[in-house]
Amino acid sequence: MSRDWIKGNAVIGQSGGPTAVINQSLVGVIEGLRSGLQAVGAVESILGMRNGVRGLTRDELVDLGALHQDRLDLLAMTPSAALASTRDKPDSAYCERILQACKRNNVRYFFYIGGNDSSDTCRIVSEMAAADGHEMTCFHVPKTVDNDLVRNDHTPGFPSAARFVAMACMADFLDNVSLPGIKINVIMGRHAGFLTAASALARRNDRDATTDGPQLIYVPEVAFDIDRFIGEVEEVYARKGRCHIAVSEGIQDKNGQSIGATLIKNAQVDAHGNAQLSGSGALGDQLADLLKSRLTPAGGKAPRVRADTFGYIQRCWPDASVVDRIEARRAGRQAAAFALQGHRSGSVAIVRTGKGYGGEAYASGFERIELADVAAKTRHLPPEFLQGTHDVSQAFLDYCRPLVGELPDFERL
Amino acid sequence: MSRDWIKGNAVIGQSGGPTAVINQSLVGVIEGLRSGLQAVGAVESILGMRNGVRGLTRDELVDLGALHQDRLDLLAMTPSAALASTRDKPDSAYCERILQACKRNNVRYFFYIGGNDSSDTCRIVSEMAAADGHEMTCFHVPKTVDNDLVRNDHTPGFPSAARFVAMACMADFLDNVSLPGIKINVIMGRHAGFLTAASALARRNDRDATTDGPQLIYVPEVAFDIDRFIGEVEEVYARKGRCHIAVSEGIQDKNGQSIGATLIKNAQVDAHGNAQLSGSGALGDQLADLLKSRLTPAGGKAPRVRADTFGYIQRCWPDASVVDRIEARRAGRQAAAFALQGHRSGSVAIVRTGKGYGGEAYASGFERIELADVAAKTRHLPPEFLQGTHDVSQAFLDYCRPLVGELPDFERL
């Protein structure tokens, strides 16, 4: 049974902050197209956008058709975005240029791998193409270490970053036990605290924060109060002679004001109007200075306070979660499969079909959702994943643990 | 054949910054004593110092004799110092208190795992005990991620930290290609640049910096000139539209003045008189600000400059080098074996017996050296490991590569 496929080229782009598995999704789309729409004759060339839609508008396209499967396999295991990425957030005029580039290059199948801004770009381009009468299938493939896409159980990129955060906090907690003091680790996540919450996996066997660290976890979803923070650190430090803290770069006060932006003078502001939080140790250093000055007893010695900012390596660390590798690849293939089924637009969402705890094996599948259902929306840590002002719940640990793969056990004397 | 062993207790301590494999050495000493001096009846109890010599002077000792081998095996794989560490650098009066504690606890076998300061403590205690007539065998077991002990081909802890640095720079270089700009990574090593030099392993197949990054590597052994630095960054940035930089926290100017201490106002100073370089993002942030201000064209836009400081996780990351795990364990056992052979003091030094390149398999062994030969001395990157003002040589890559274990390959489009 043959169908009247729109014949033309397919284009794939990568957008936003890269991850350890975003190339898995790129390769997944290529594989899905090769065995699907290209095999049935609908897709002629498979093209890659250089630097996402920015390159597309300039016709900076790479032919991905000649890549041997061996090279694709190595590319999939390579962290970061092989096509290069962009932080551009297109407005209508920009999307119009994207559409013109698609028409110019006879693009009939458009795949964009990215977060919520990218799904919104995909939505606008899809609507513009329809209004223009340019028949073009548009699919969004999810990607973000922040895990903040709605309608997804979790997003490709998050499990690997969570794995890094858990291992880093485990190692650094033991370092803090060895040379005691107050230690702050600043973790990515401008709006959602999932990645910072994953620091709780550093504790062994779901034991609580009274045994293993981090003892205090601060996420953007819980209003950050500087005086309460200092009191909580003081309490742990008085009891244990040390304190291990995980802080999201996105912590905010009860009015939604970013603590980082407030503390950091001269913060750089990017094209989206966001203060620069990553790629600088400023927030951690400011919090450390605050603790030093506020916790020094009158006439006494300042406590040893140190801050590390995990920085960009947390999103691209090469030891990716196995679950993440597999799901990111499948998400890309699935987008191509939905297009083969005749869907004209959509986003691929991960659905958990096996819990991965309580005796039930972990399993996941995919569903097609409308672009408008995910575009430009932000998912936050739900209340049931939080516990008190500075911890996560058992429900979060149950949710997160199956995603990150095996973590090293450790022993203490 | 029986010998007249001095009968008494053995004590083991860990000192200085912890590493991913310092517990391997602890377990190695325990194993070596169990099968050696304890088996022949010379050692009664095997004790651990809590927080190194600081705890020893307060009789804060842990009985390590009852630990099951299964627990030792897990302990060995656990990063950081299980006995807890200390930054104390004992003077004569302090060493006198150490000696008194040894006499009080009938310690006849003293093992101290640490860097060059720790070997000096070991030397002083050994000499004081001899002068006092307290017969006590004193051995130093090498440990430092800085790789700055003389007479050692390399030191336990360095290969694992070098592995982390190589993987982090590899991932972060690809991130920099994906979202171009100027990226600075600050790496540990106050006096020696070995760990920063290991960033060159991030490049594939020994290809030079014109293909893969980091393109610029700055170590303490090459005088750092701010104007030359800015010029070198400008040149790479103009040519590639991006620049990936590895900088040692210990970079210094031609007069030996620390660049970090000069740039960082209000730097904390520790008991050794050293400015706080780790546990803060200040040096990276200062260098980034400098580049932003100096590389902004008149009336133009500042380049995107980001800085990450790898921080404490580089010394304790749980995915240790296999060579390092094995050698650290053996170094501990070897110290116990030298004591069993009747040596009264010394340090264990790693000797490379197989190059690990040019068709020769990597192999290593151990020799006993005098405490005075290693104590309080600092090894630096030799000139043959350097190339120009901002790179390392092929000789360094050949030297370092066999130590870190297999690194992930990657692919670029």
The per-residue pLDDT for A280 is: 78
> Do A161-317+383-404 and A8-156+320-374 have the same topology in CATH?
yes
Of B14, B177, B310, the CB nearest to A80: B177
- Residue A346 sits at φ, ψ, to 5 deg, of 150, 175
Contact list in B for residue A74 (CB cut-off 8 A) is 409-411
Interface with chain A: mutation pick from B24, B80, B169, B264, highest number of A CBs within 10 Å:
B80
Point out the residue among A171, A278, A279 whose CB comes nearest to the CB of B80: A171
Chain A residue with CA closest to B54: the answer is: A179
**Which of A170, A284, A313 is facing B318, going by the closest CB pair?**
A170
Residue A234 CA to residue A303 CA, distance in Å, equals 10
Q: How far, in Å, are A123, A334, A389, B254 from residue A364 at the CA level?
A: 25, 13, 31, 59
**How far is the alpha carbon of B164 from chain A, nearest alpha carbon, in Å?**
10
Residue B84, min C-alpha distance to chain A (Å): 4
pLDDT at residue B299, rounded to an integer:
86
Is residue B146 annotated as part of the catalytic site, yes or no? yes
C-alpha B86/C-alpha B52 separation (Å) is 6
pLDDT of residue A207: 60
Angle at alpha carbon of residue B387, lines to B381 and B391, rounded to 5°: 85
Q: Say which of B88, B146, B324, B391 is annotated catalytic.
A: B146
Residue B297: its pLDDT value, please? Answer: 87
| Chain A environment of B411 (Cβ under 8 Å) | 71, 74-75, 77-78, 82
> Closest to A309 (Cβ–Cβ): which among B75, B281, B412?
B281
* CB-based contact A80 B175, cutoff 8 Å: yes
A163 CA: distance to closest CA in chain B (Å): 12
* Residue of chain A nearest B279, judged by CA positions: A306
Do A218 and A245 meet the contact criterion of CB atoms below 8 Å apart?
A: yes
Tell me the shortest Cα–Cα distance from B270 to chain A, in angstroms. 10
Quick check: A288 and B308 CB within 8 A? no
Phi, psi angle pair for A103, to nearest 5°? -65, -45
Taking the CA of residue A3 and the nearest CA in chain B, the distance in Å comes to: 34
Judged by CB atoms closer than 8 Å, whether chains meet at A74 and B311 is answered as no
Q: pLDDT digit of tens for each residue in chain A (413 aa)? A: 456 789 999 999 999 999 999 999 999 999 999 999 999 999 999 999 999 999 999 999 999 999 999 999 999 999 999 999 999 999 999 999 999 999 999 999 999 999 999 999 999 999 999 999 999 999 999 999 999 999 999 999 999 999 999 999 999 999 999 999 999 999 999 899 999 999 999 998 656 567 898 999 999 999 999 999 999 999 999 999 999 999 999 999 999 999 988 877 544 555 555 566 667 788 998 999 999 999 988 888 889 999 999 999 999 999 999 999 999 999 999 999 999 999 999 999 999 999 999 999 999 999 999 999 999 899 999 999 999 999 999 999 999 999 999 999 999 98
Question: Mutation test of the interface with chain A: which of B174, B249, B264, choosing the one with the most A Cβ atoms within 10 A?
Answer: B174
Give the pLDDT means over successive 10-residue stretches in chain B (413 positions).
80 97 98 97 97 98 95 97 96 96 98 96 97 97 97 98 98 96 96 97 75 94 97 95 97 93 62 61 91 90 93 96 98 98 97 96 98 94 97 96 94 90
Closest Cβ–Cβ partner in B83, B172, B183 for A413: B83
Which one of 1.10.1660.10, 3.40.50.10470, 3.40.50.450, 3.90.79.10 gives the CATH number of domain B8-156+320-374?
Answer: 3.40.50.450
Is residue A102 within 8 Å of A110, Cβ to Cβ?
A: yes
d(CA B139, CA B332): 10
CA separation, residue B282 to residues A243, B254, B279, B316 (Å): 22, 21, 9, 21
Contacting residues of A for B243, CB less than 8 Å apart = none
- Chain B residue nearest residue A285, CA to CA: B280
Nearest CA in chain B to A281: B281
Which residue in chain B has the smallest CA separation from A181? B279
Domain boundaries, chain A: 8-156+320-374, 161-317+383-404
Interface test with A, best of B179, B247, B404 (most A CBs within 10 A): B179
CB atoms within 10 A of CB A76: 23
Nearest to B281 among A75, A168, A285 (CB): A285
Chain segment B243-281, per-residue pLDDT in tens: 999 999 999 999 999 998 887 754 455 555 556 666 678
Say yes or no for a CB contact (<8 Å) between B79 and A410: yes
Q: Nearest CA to CA, how far is A18 from chain B (Å)?
A: 7
Catalytic residue numbers of A read 146
Answer yes or no: do A174 and B79 touch at CB < 8 A.
yes
Task: Output the pLDDT for position A267.
Answer: 46
Chain centroid, CA A379 distance in Å: 12
- A:B CB pairs within 8 Å: 199
Contacts of A393 (CB under 8 A, 6+ apart): A384, A385, A386, A387
Which chain B residue is nearest to residue A51, measuring alpha carbons? Answer: B178
Chain A residue with CA closest to B202: the answer is A318
Residue A72, helix vs strand vs coil: helix
Give this prediction's pTM. Answer: 0.95
Pick the CATH number of B161-315+383-404 from 2.60.40.1180, 3.30.70.60, 3.40.50.460, 3.40.50.970: 3.40.50.460
> Which residues in B lie closer than 8 A to residue A306 (C-beta atoms)?
276, 278-280, 312
The count of other CB atoms within 10 Å of the CB of residue B247 is 28
Distance between CA atoms of A345 and A123, rounded to whole angstroms? 8
The number of residues making up chain B comes to 413
CATH of domain A161-317+383-404: 3.40.50.460
CB under 8 Å to B189, separation ≥6 — which residues?
B145, B146, B148, B195, B196, B219, B220, B248, B249, B250
> Six-digit token pair at A228?
């309460």
Find chain A residues with C-beta within 8 A of B311's C-beta. Answer: 172, 308-310
